[in-house]
Amino acid sequence: MSWITTASRLLLLVAASAALGWFYGYPREAVIVVLLAWIGTWLYQMQRLQLWLKNTGKPPPGAFGSWDELYAPIYSQQRKNSKENAQLQSTVEYLQDSFAAMRDGVIMVDQHGAIQWLNRAVEPLLGLRHPEDTGQTLTNLVRAPEFNQYFLSRDYRKPLQYHAIGDNRSSYLRVDVTHFGEGERLLFIRDISSQVRLENMRRDFVANVSHELRTPLTVISGYLSTILDNSQELPQRYVRPLQQMDQQAQRMESLLKDLLWLSRIESEKLEDERELVDVRALLQELKDELSEAYKDATIELNIEADDKVYGDYRQLYSAVSNLVFNAIKYSPAGSTVTINWVSQDNKLLLQVCDKGIGIDSSHIPRLTERFYRVDDSRNSETGGTGLGLAIVKHVAVAHAATLEIQSKLGEGSTFTLVFPNSASTQS
């Protein structure tokens, strides 16, 4: 019913009461009484409506006129809402049931850092109590400083991996955090101890095998060089095979050297050897050494930054020398290799650029894998070990840097070590 109808009814009532009142000689009083009665009825209906709204879910009480028409749409909206709520509730329960059944720990945290919900698997991982710790501030309950620092940083682009030492257990945990809703966070905690143990075993195995192979190989190549030093006394038909054996022995030696160096970088704690590395001096030393070794290549230095980097001098030296060595190897004789040390967008870039043979883009994502080769024939020609870029990548990771590779087949390549500014300091 529209407000015009309601207003017309009120006018009609006022007119009728005025007419009746005039007939009895009290027109004004009659109108006032009728208006008061009208207001009283409306107040009564409003109170009923309020009461009914408080007890949601009940069918509307009977009313008359426009009031009756008001109840109907409100009631139908209420029923729709409660149906949607029930659906939402069952979805939430379903999700909670599936999270509860997971073997990984799951925690939901509100925007203030208080635990909204957690599953039972969190108990042994973080030492929380399920469900008693619901409502508590997460960082007040977890004792690991790495965890709390990571959680409070709100930078969850990379997962956290840390060694958790509890009262009677020690494990490696991986924590993934996702933002959702309005500032809420969802945490997944996984025990990765067995993966870490396997990885350590693999690393130790490679290091031990390389170490054990080194001694016999040194003896073999020692004898081979001595024999070849006196090659004029040898029957001619043995000279070529012995030269090839010597070449391969040398190749194996550099392979073992790289393998040992790689496992050392992987297991070394950078903090032990950390110092302020003067990148300018490092690059100058490297240029002098490589220019001497590769006389037909030109190495150009372009140093625009004065920053030093907190890190390990030997590791950084080996990473850049691998990059420059590759740039020379994979470029035609006599070409120029440029090394840039520049500051850009709050980051420090160490670039090695060449105008060599380049790499097809399909190979780029896999280049830093151990022994990955773009072309096997190309490799045997150059005598590489296939470990150079793996070493560079590990050095980058140990220095919180990233390795970016840009290359175009036939045009050349640029390998960039990108250091965050926090890894450095201005001299």
Q: Which residues bind ligand ADP (CB under 6 A)?
A: 322, 326-327, 330, 354, 356-359, 367, 372-374, 378-379, 384-390, 413
CB of 281 to ligand ADP, least distance (A): 24
Mapping DSSP to helix (H, G, I), strand (E, B) and coil, where does residue 276 land? strand
Closest to ligand ADP by CB, 203 or 373: 373
Residue closer to ligand ADP (CB basis): 45 or 322: 322
CB of 406 to ligand ADP, least distance (A): 11
Type and span of the H or E element at 127: none
Residue facing ligand ADP at closest CB distance: 384
Please identify, using beta-carbon distances, which residue of 130 and 370 lies nearer to ligand ADP.
370
Between residues 325 and 419, which has the closer beta carbon with respect to ligand ADP? 325
Q: DSSP string spanning 13-75? A: HHHHHHHHHHHHT-HHHHHHHHHHHHHHHHHHHHHHHHHHHHSTTSPPPP--HHHHHHHHHHH
Supply 45's token pair. 């209906």
Nearer to ligand ADP, 228 or 364 (CB): 364
- Shortest gap between Cβ of 255 and ligand ADP (angstroms)? 9
User: Least distance in Å: CB of 387 to ligand ADP?
Assistant: 6
Give the span between the Cα atoms of 47 and 54, in whole angstroms: 11
CB of 321 vs ligand ADP, minimal distance in Å: 11
Compare residues 127 and 386 and give the one whose CB is closer to ligand ADP.
386
Q: Are 258 and 389 in contact (CB under 8 A)?
A: no
Q: In the complex, what is the shortest distance from the CB of residue 107 to ligand ADP, in angstroms, rounded to a whole number?
A: 41
**Contact (CB, 8 A) for 330 and 404:** no
H-state helical runs in 230-312: 236-267, 270-273, 279-293
